[in-house]
Amino acid sequence: MQASIKFRNHASCIILLGIGLMFSVTSLPARAALGGNLNSVEQDKIQMKATVQVRQSDAYAVHEIKAPHGTVVREYVSPAGTVFGVAWQGPFMPDLHQVLGSYLPQYSAAVQEEHAKRPGRHPLNINQAGLVIETSGHMRAYYGRVFVPELVPQAVNAGEIR
C-alpha cells in the first residue's frame, strides 16, 4: 500500500518543505546571527565557505558574506557589536537558522500566520513588535531582510538595511 499526501496548492507544498528544511538542521555552532554579537562572523564565513568584506560607517558596520554559489548575506552590526539586521540576495536562500539565530521561531511563526491569512505566493511584509520581515523572490532569485527595530542604532534609518 502506497501512502500519498495531497496538497491543496503549490504554496502549501512550498511552506511545508521550507519548514521541514528549517527544522532538519542539526545543532550548529554559535554564529553571528540576528541579535547576536560580532565575535562569530568568522564562523559564518567558514560555514558558508565564503568571503567577507567589511564596510564601516560612523553608525554601523556591514559584514558582507559572499558564498561561492552566489548568495550574499549582509549582517549589520552596531558600534556595540550587536547584529541588528540581516539582508540577503541570491540564487539560494541562506541558512535561516544560521542568520536568524534565536529569532528563527518568531520568524517561522510570523510567516506561518501570514500564509494562513493570505495563502499563495506573494512577497512577505511583516511588521511585528520586535521583528520586521520583508522577503520575496522566486527560484534562483531570492532576497529579503530582517531586523529588530529596538536594536537599530538611533542614527540609522531602517531603510539602510538592504
- Asked if 161 and 83 count as a contact pair (C-beta separation under 8 A), the reply is no
User: Rounded distance, CA 87 to CA 83, Å?
Assistant: 11
Determine if residue 39 is left, alpha or beta; phi over 0 gives left, psi from -120 to 50 gives alpha, anything else beta.
alpha
Q: State the Rg of the chain over Cα.
A: 16
pLDDT band, very low/low/confident/very high, at 151 (cuts 50, 70, 90): very high
Of the candidates 107, 99, 50, the residue with the CA atom closest to the CA atom of residue 77: 99
Q: Please report, for the chain, the start and end positions of each structural domain, with discontinuous segments joined by +.
A: 10-160
Per-residue pLDDT of 107-137, as tens digits, reads: 999 999 999 999 888 899 999 989 999 999 9
Per-residue pLDDT of 42-65, as tens digits, reads: 666 677 777 889 999 999 999 999
Give the per-residue pLDDT at 1.
Answer: 46
